[in-house]
Each structure stands twice: as structure tokens, then as C-alpha cells.
Structure 1
Amino acid sequence: MRLRPVLATVTAGLAVATCLGAAAPANSRLQEGSCSSRVDIDSYSDALDKTEFQGSFVGNFSALAVDTDGDIAAVSDRSELFGLDRASLRPKSVVHLADEKGAQLDSEGLAVERDGSRLVSSETEPSVRRYSRDGALLGSLPVPDALRVAPAGRATRNLTFEGLTLQPGGRTLVAAMEGPIAGDGPGIVRLQTWRRHGQKQEFRLAEQYGYRADAKLGISEATATGDGRLLVLERGFTAGVGNTVRLYLADLRHATDVSDVEYVTEQDVTGQDGIRLVRKTLLADIADCPSLGAPAKQPQPNPLLDNIEAMAVTSRAPGRLHLLLASDDNQNSAQITRFYRLSVRLPRH
């Protein structure tokens, strides 16, 4: 989502140096690298900030996903899909995406299928489209009418499909709305799912769930943990103060399917037989992470913070995930394209 106007002039070349926070000794790691009891920050890098690759601005990142070869796929909200080296994060490729009429997308979510095709959500309509590795449009998924941008539906422009992820096995796709649709209660956003059916394994609309975001925050990304749960980034921005970014664990089990519920109101949620929202557990407020000496270009509660909008699980071990996060600089001189590597210890399922 583009939160700030474009101010920056693109600079040429790719910086070689990175700003990686050194790993702390084992006996001091919790104290020095801890964001919370469950999340550590391992490093950050500003190496791609205000750089170019093959004539394309490297930035505006809105989603990340691990590709079939282990490298990183990164989509920008300016219709460009980058391939990044898994270790250095240097760009290796870039392709341009477009809709059925050749128009630019406001790409916000990304999931990579086993065959290498890319599922990309755009918050313009909103939509979920499938693309080949080389950027060819292969098709699109159905979207509920209520989630479409008004007047076609009840959604607000720039507050639609911000997160996109595939659950284990690739049979269920989840898209997270950034903000509520008209008529729903304050802060209650909808998570839409699709499930594969038939010989062609095509995605069809499935359950829809309500999720309550924190006050003044919206969902900027949702990523599967691998055990059926989701990691959810909630984000907001206050002028003169900076960004708020919180990492939650979301469990869809026992949540009510609201696909046939026209309005999910506060009364519906709090009543005796009320709608059960997705249960969420705070893992960390990123403002509580050590700053690692990171600079900030504008006021921030923690100089490490920026407009964090993208997240991918890069590796898994029993009870532990390694994450890669990225900020969307909006091609703005007051913001930074910054990558973050975090380690997360999940509570038991």
C-alpha cells in the first residue's frame, strides 16, 4: 500500500555493503537480540535502498515469497516482480506484470505455486491473478462481490487484498484484507480463502473469517507458518511519530465462517452466541527490537522501523521459523527499503 507520495530520485547502481547486525554471543543473545520472549532480530540490510536493476527501481516492495529454487521472489506495488538471491538479496531478474488490458497493477500479495507460477493479489479491484515465471498472465480467481471496491462492493480503495499466502500442501489460499468493509465493525477485517477442486485443481471460493486488527492498524501481510496457522503483520503510520508494526500469530481453527454474514458488527461478535473471530497472539512489537544501530530518515519510535509490508518464512525447524521482512519505501526519500531477518519460536499448536 502506498502510504506516502513519491519524492525520491532513483539513484543508479547497487550498493555492495550491507548493514548487517552482528550475531550476539550465545550467552547474551536473548538480551541483545530479543524483541520479545519469542522473537529475535538477527540482522538488517539497507543495501538495496534507492538502487536500480536493469533499468527498474529496486523498491516499493509489498510482498515476498520463497521461490521453487530457494531464492526470493519479491513483488513491488508498481507491477514488477524481482528475483533476489537468497543470501545476498541482490536482484537476479525482473519481469513486468499487467492486467488483462495491459494496465499496471497495485500488487500487494504474492504466493509461489509448486510449478513456479505466481499468484499475485492487487488491491485495485481487488483481484488475485496467476502469472508464469516470465510474467505472462495465466488466469484469475473469483472474488466475493462484498470485498470489491465500492461502488462494485463494500471495500475501500487501498484497503483490500494486502496479504496472500498458501497453506501447507498448496490446496488452500488465504488473502487478508487490510481494512474493514463498509458495515463491518471497527477494526474487523476479513480473511478470504479459496480451496482447490476437481481434476484441474482450480481454486474456488471457500470460507471467510473475521479478524480484529489493533486500533489504528491494518493488516500489511499474512504468511503461513506451515502448521495451519498464520503470521500476521499489523501496521500503521502516524505523522511525526512514525510506524507501528506488530507481529501476531493467528489461528483460524474454531473461527466462524462469515462468508454468508452480510455485516460482522460488534454486537455480532460480543453476543452470547456471537461470531468467533480468528484468535491471535502477539509475538512481538517490532518497536521493542534492538535497533542494531540502524538509521532512520524520519521520526520513528525505534530507528529500525520503517513501512514494513512484506514477509516470508525462509526456513523452518521444530518450533522455530526464520523470517525475512521488507519495507516499502514508496520511492520516497524519507523512507528506506530495508530487509530484516528474524527468528521466531512458535507456541505449541
Structure 2
Amino acid sequence: MGIMKRVGMGAAVAALAITVPGVAFATDRSTWDRAELLKFAALPAETFVPGSEPSGSLLGGTPSNGVVPPFADQPVQGFSGVLRNSDGSFDVLSDNGFGNKGNSADFLLRIQRVGPNFDSGTVDVLGGITLTDPDGKVPFALTRPDRVLTGADFDVESISRTADGTYWIGDEFGPWLLHFDRAGRLLAPPVALPGVFAPENPTRGETPANLNSSKGFEGMAQSPDGRTLYPLLEGTVAGDAPGTLRLHEFDIAANAYTGRRWTYLLDAPGNAIGDAIAVDKDRFLIIERDNGEGATAKVKKIYLADRRDRNRDGQLDKTLVADLMDIANPKRVGGFGKTFTFPFQTIEDVVILDDRTIAVLNDNNFPFSNGRVPGQPDDNEFIVLKLDHDLDADKRVLRRY
């Protein structure tokens, strides 16, 4: 494969195949017709875990979008990954809390279980699990002596679940891969990505960071056979061509990277990815976005990316399957007009429901983002889209959970 590179495990930073200055950025290789909005539901921004611990004490008490911290409980917010359950509910991953390591020490990392009710347009919070390290697998100091994990310990952004019910979670502070049991207990030490270090990584010592903050594993696909993970970095590693992102291969049984990787090329260097999930052994759905929200939101797209590189340009081939700023809504679902937009800064969740239907959720960055209504904190919105074509997905992906 022209886009695959074998990377030495001891190398600090390996060069990608595409390193020519001034490289052209990706454009739509082909485009499907508009996706259609089928269903809409929303979880109010100010939703909290009942009877949980206080949070937001490090936000300084400054109001944001009319919301004044601190909070009496833990907010149910910031969805950065989603998994479908067999009973119609979904597991969603709340990210590191309030945006960075410094202000999220009282935010408890958690997998929430939610159930959308599309008849009423609401989302029920059904429960969830808090992530912990009771057996001391993390080799560096944690924020809390009880080893409950917080947003100052890890920035969890992507999630996958294997057939045994355990969770693999991608982090941005390492970046690391984290393996949890079904109760949220860390099973093994964090697995580092060889040669790549974020500024927040406490194990790098004097090694310079070569990945920007909050640019680690934003997406993570699982192969249809369940044996392999494909974590995708959100940011470009120093020394790589601007706008190129590394897609790595991780062998679950070996608990190690295989050394194979591919390149995803952003449409523009200022864009970022929001999620990556598998369609089959070669293709992935990848959310790509700009940093705008509301009136400034322009690029919110879902691509079908193919690692076979049929045009031999050294990148995953990209087909635009859904423009989230231009969704057909002929039935005026949710009370919106005939064109529906998803104008959020961070859109970080996509899941396949059937071969032609996907669900998409936003990360509302509570209480900071206000992409839907200026001056009001964004809800966690849950939308179902009908695509223009069948995905022709691997049947194992369609049957998963």
C-alpha cells in the first residue's frame, strides 16, 4: 500500500510519505447527495448526575452563556464518543471536563448511558460508570488518592468496546490507549504511542512535545473482526506535512502497535477530526470540522475514508457522505426548517445504525459553546441521518451490539 508506513518502535518521530512543502490539501474525491434528517432529540445543557460530587470549582465563578460555576453535581456533557447497545440505548463518553488539564481536576471521567426518545425529542440519562484505577496501573501520580480518574489525569476522547464487554479508550494527554473493564476499572498500564508526546504527558521527561495540546486520539475505529484498533490523531505530529494526521494500527491481543500507519489529509490545515469508526476492514467514517460555531461554522462533514488509496496519492481516499451544514429536512423534523444545520464547534460522535442510517452527536463543551442559539449553552443533540447511498458495511459492523 502506498500510504502504509512501517514505523520502528524506537524511533522518536518517523517521517511520513508526504513531506513536500506546500502540499495541496484534500478536496472532495466524490460527493453523495444530501443526507436527510430522520430524527432529533436533545439533552438539556444543564443536566447533572444526581447525587454526584461538586464540579467546576476551578472555573473561577465566571458566567458563561448565562451558566455560573461551580456546580453542585457532575455535568452530563461533552460527548466525545458513542457506542450502540442492543437494547436501543447508547454509551457515550464524556471528555476531560471543562476544556483542559488545569481546570478539570474535579470532573470525574465517566461513560454515560443514555436513551434517546425521538417521539418526544428528549434524551434520558439511564446511568453510567465512573472510570477508576483501583489497582494502581497508572505509573504516575493521580489527582485523587482514591484513584478515581479526573479530567486532570486524562483527556478521554474516543471509545471502542470489544466482545468481552471491556472498553478501549483513546486519550489526548499521552496520547495513550486505556483498557477498562465493564465496571470502568483500568485493567493495564496506559499504552503510549511510540515517539509521540503531548505537552501534558508526565512521562516524557526532557523529551520535547511533538504534538499540540488536545490533539491526541480523537477517533478510534475497531476492525470488524474485533482484533484491531485504529486510533486516529486529531493533530499533526511535528515534522509531518501540515494537515496530515496519522492513523495507527494496534493489535489488541498483543497489546501493542503493529508499526503500520496511514495518512488522513485534512481539507485545510486548520481543520480537525471529531471521530473515526469502521465501516469494513478498509473504510472508515471520519468527522472533519473547522473551529467555527453558529454563524462562523462552515466545515462540518462526514467522509467515507478508504485506506486502499486507489488514486495512489499517499492519502486515504475521501468521499463526502454528509455535509452537516446542509442536511435535507423535508418533514421539518425537530421543528426546524427544510434545511437543517449542525453548527457546533465540536462534533465528535458518529455511529452506524444500519447500512444507510447513522446517528451523530455533538460535544457541547459545557458551558462554553453556543452554536445553536447565541448566548445559550448548547444542548447535547442527537440526530439520525439517512444517507444518499448504502454504506455496504461489513455485516459484523452492522450486527455489533
Q: What is the alpha-carbon root mean square deviation over aligned residues?
A: 2.9
2:112 to 82, 107, 126: 82
- Offset of 1:348 from its aligned partner? 6.4
Q: Equivalent residue for 1:264?
A: none
Alignment-derived partner of residue 143 in structure 1: 192
Gapped regions of structure 2 (runs ≥ 5): 1-30, 53-73, 98-108, 200-206, 368-375, 394-401
Q: Does 1:175 align with 2:175?
A: no
Which structure carries more strand by proportion?
Answer: 1
Q: Which moved more, 1:236-245 or 1:74-83?
A: 236-245
Give the Cα separation in 2 of the matches to 1:163 and 1:72: 17
Deviation at 1:190, TM superposition (A): 0.6
Deviations 1:236-255 (A, max 9, x none): 22365135311100111248
- The change in CA–CA distance for 1:303 and 1:250 in structure 2 (over 3 A counts) is closer
Change (3 A) 1:204 1:254: farther
1:253 aligns with 2:269: no
Kindly provide the CA deviation profile for residues 87-144 of structure 1, in whole angstroms up to 9, marking residues without a partner as x. Answer: 6642211222246233422110000111111111111111110111211111246333
Shift of 1:145: 2.9
- Which whole-Å deviations, capped at 9, do the CAs of 1:304-334 have from their partners, x for residues lacking one? 32231111123x3xxx232221111111244
- C-alpha distance in 2 between matches for 1:226 and 1:71: 23
Amino acid at match of 1:42: L
Q: 1:305 aligns with which of 343, 349, 365?
A: 343
In the TM superposition, residue 38 of structure 1 has moved relative to its aligned partner by 6.1
Give the 5 Å matches for 1:130-209.
Answer: 130-140=179-189, 142-150=191-199, 151-196=207-252, 201-206=253-258, 207-209=260-262
- For residues 255-298 of structure 1, what are the alpha-carbon distances to aligned partners after superposition, in whole Å with 9 as ceiling and x for unaligned? 8xxxxxxxxxxxxxx9xxx87111111112111113647699xx
Alignment correspondent of 1:63: 81
1:95 aligns with 2:129: yes
Q: 2:317 matched to which residue of 1?
A: 279
CA distance in 2, matches of 1:182, 1:143: 17
SS, match of residue 173 in structure 1: strand
Q: Say which SS state the counterpart of residue 37 (structure 1) adopts.
A: coil
Tell me how far apart the structure 2 counterparts of residues 193 and 84 of structure 1 sit (CA, whole Å): 30
Please name the residue that 1:211 is paired with: 264
User: AA paired with 2:383?
Assistant: Y
CA distance in 2, matches of 1:111, 1:173: 8
CA distance in 1 between partners of 2:163 and 2:117 (Å): 21
**Structure 1 counterpart of 2:174, from 118, 125, 150:** 125
Q: How many angstroms does 1:36 deviate by?
A: 5.0
Distance 1:81-1:288 versus aligned 2 partners, 3 A rule: same
Map of 1:323 onto structure 2? 358
Instruction: Give the structure 1 partner of residue 397 of structure 2.
Output: none
1:36 and 1:288 in contact (8 A); partners too: no
Letter in 2 for 1:170: G
CA deviation profile, 1:42-71 (whole Å, cap 9, x unmatched)? 122123432223343221111101246553
Equivalent pair of 2:326/2:341 in contact (CA under 8 Å) = no
Quick check: 1:313–1:323 contact (8 Å CA) kept in 2?
yes
Q: Deviations over 1:165-186 (max 9, x none)?
A: 2110101101111111111111
Unaligned runs of 5+ in 1: 1-34, 256-269
1:38/1:346 contact within 8 Å kept:
no
Q: Which has the higher contact order (CA 8 A, sep 6+)?
A: 2
TM-score between the two structures when normalised by the length of structure 1: 0.73
Deviation at 1:342, TM superposition (A): 1.4
Q: 1:72 aligns with which of 84, 90, 96?
A: 90
Number of equivalenced pairs: 286
CA distance in 1, matches of 2:334, 2:194: 44
Residue by residue, what CA displacement relative to the aligned partner does 1:176-199 show, whole Å, maximum 9, x if unpaired?
111111111111111111124xxx
C-alpha distance in 1 between matches for 2:322 and 2:335: 21
Paired residue type of 1:134: A
